[in-house]
Amino acid sequence: MPRSANKPPANAVAVGDCIDTMNAWPEACVDLVFADPPYNIGYQYDQYEDKRDDHDYIDWTNRWIDACVHLLKPTGSLYILIGDEYAAETRLHLKALEKQHKLVFRNWIIWHYTFGQNCRAKFNRSHAHLFYCVGPAAFQKHTLKTLPYAFNRDTIAVPSARQTTYGDARANPTGKLPDDSWYLRPQEAMEDQPVDDSEWLFDPDGDTWYLSRLCGTFKERLGWHPCQLPEALLERIIKLSSNPGDVVFDPFTGSGTTLAVAARLGRQWLGCELSDEYAAKATERIEHAAETGETMQTTLFDKGIERGKPKKKAEPHRSPHLKKRTSKKKATSSRKGSTKPKKGE
């Protein structure tokens, strides 16, 4: 498909199909891409139907990733957050792009979140996959001091065990980079907790990315979008992989978390969104962050939640199309299990 060269808007959310929109913009015009696409698991969105055929979903995924790579500067960075169902297929496409020298794969990160699902017949899912890549400038010869992409180590460095535990004089005084598995929780190491109850190895602000999902009662949770990420997750990524004034792009703006954090941190922001309503509400949130430097918050009253009387389902969940199919299955099972009534009953 031929590319046109329409200049992307500055600090705006473009409404429409993200692939068509990205392909209409010139190449190499954004510094950081963060994508958290629909996972094809039946969530109910405003305009998008989250239940495609597997092959259709994978093809669609490959096409929006290609469009993101088209927009990414050679010195830029790309992050993709994805669930279990299509993580392997997504990784394979990124590998194919690396073979074509279109990007360089850096890390496969596991984000372990608290407040996960409560499963009854399998292990609780409490993680997502985060793929971190950088632009093709990384193929060029460079040193740690001349990295061709933004990697602001000191903005996210954390105290190392050499500093906090062993008092080792050889420790780097600026700390260490966080690990690429963000999964340890304080309750899993209670035996290591000091008697004085001070912070210890599994401090949430330490060397693991211990971040909760946003439940419906959290002030940061706005309540009008089914999938909202915590700002802390995006803050670390944006601080590390961009500089003030850089353009941060999100092809699936949704609730606006990525761009709100970008605006709050002094970056330029750009997004795509299929829904007019989501785009308008996200823009309001982003502009609030840009003007105040603060996170937009809501109260329980704003979300129609009464303390002590939770809604049966506080969060939007599955698509009504899936609910209909489930109801039909239950009705069929009920008919199969029934017996013909005896005469006179």
Mean model confidence pLDDT for the chain: 78
Query: Residue 294: its pLDDT value, please?
Result: 84
On the question of pLDDT at 192 being above 80, the answer is no
- CB of 114 within 8 A of CB of 233? no
With the C-alpha atoms ordered 58, 4, 250, 245, is the resulting torsion angle positive or negative?
positive
For residue 224, the one-letter residue type is W
Bridge partners, 130 (sequence order): 81, 109
Give 69-127 pLDDT, tens digit per residue. Answer: 999 999 999 999 999 999 999 999 999 999 999 999 999 998 877 655 677 888 877 78
- CB of 181 within 8 A of CB of 109? yes
Query: Residue 210: its pLDDT value, please?
Result: 46
| Cβ neighbours for 203, distance < 8 A, ≥ 6 positions apart | 186
Of 168-177, 198-207, 298-307, the one with minimum mean pLDDT is 198-207
| Cβ neighbours for 75, distance < 8 A, ≥ 6 positions apart | 31, 135, 137, 148, 149, 150
In the CATH hierarchy, which fold is given to the domain comprising 12-328? Rossmann fold (3.40.50)
C-alpha 258/C-alpha 271 separation (Å) is 9
Q: Determine the average pLDDT of the residues in 215-241.
A: 69
Which is more confidently placed, 183 or 170? 170
Which is more confidently placed, 146 or 207? 146
Report which of 127, 126, 120, 133 is spatially closest to residue 93, judged by C-alpha positions: 133
C-alpha 99/C-alpha 94 separation (Å) is 9
Of 42-51, 108-117, 191-200, 276-285, the one with minimum mean pLDDT is 191-200
On the question of pLDDT at 155 being above 70, the answer is yes
Query: Residue 97: its pLDDT value, please?
Result: 98
**Backbone φ, ψ for residue 127 (5° rounding):** -150, 165
C-alpha 228/C-alpha 259 separation (Å) is 12
Domain extent listing, the chain: 12-328
State what percent of residues in the chain have pLDDT above 70. Answer: 68
pTM score: 0.75
Query: Could you give the angle at the alpha carbon of 29 between the alpha carbons of 28 and 32, nearest 5°?
Result: 95
Q: Determine the average pLDDT of the residues in 150-164.
A: 86
C-alpha 154/C-alpha 334 separation (Å) is 61
Give 264-301 pLDDT, tens digit per residue. Answer: 999 999 999 999 999 999 999 999 999 998 877 655 44
Query: Residue 138: its pLDDT value, please?
Result: 97
C-alpha 47/C-alpha 102 separation (Å) is 32
Which is more confidently placed, 310 or 235? 235
C-alpha 268/C-alpha 249 separation (Å) is 9
Which is more confidently placed, 251 or 200? 251
On the question of pLDDT at 310 being above 60, the answer is no
C-alpha 94/C-alpha 125 separation (Å) is 24
Band of residue 315 on the pLDDT scale cut at 50, 70, 90: very low
Query: Residue 163: its pLDDT value, please?
Result: 82
* C-alpha 82, offset from chain centre: 7
Q: Which letter, b or e, does each residue of 26-38 get, where b requires 16 or more Cβ atoms within 10 Å of its Cβ?
A: eeebbbbbbbbbb
Q: CA torsion angle for 113, 116, 122, 128 (degrees, to 10)?
A: -40
Band of residue 343 on the pLDDT scale cut at 50, 70, 90: very low
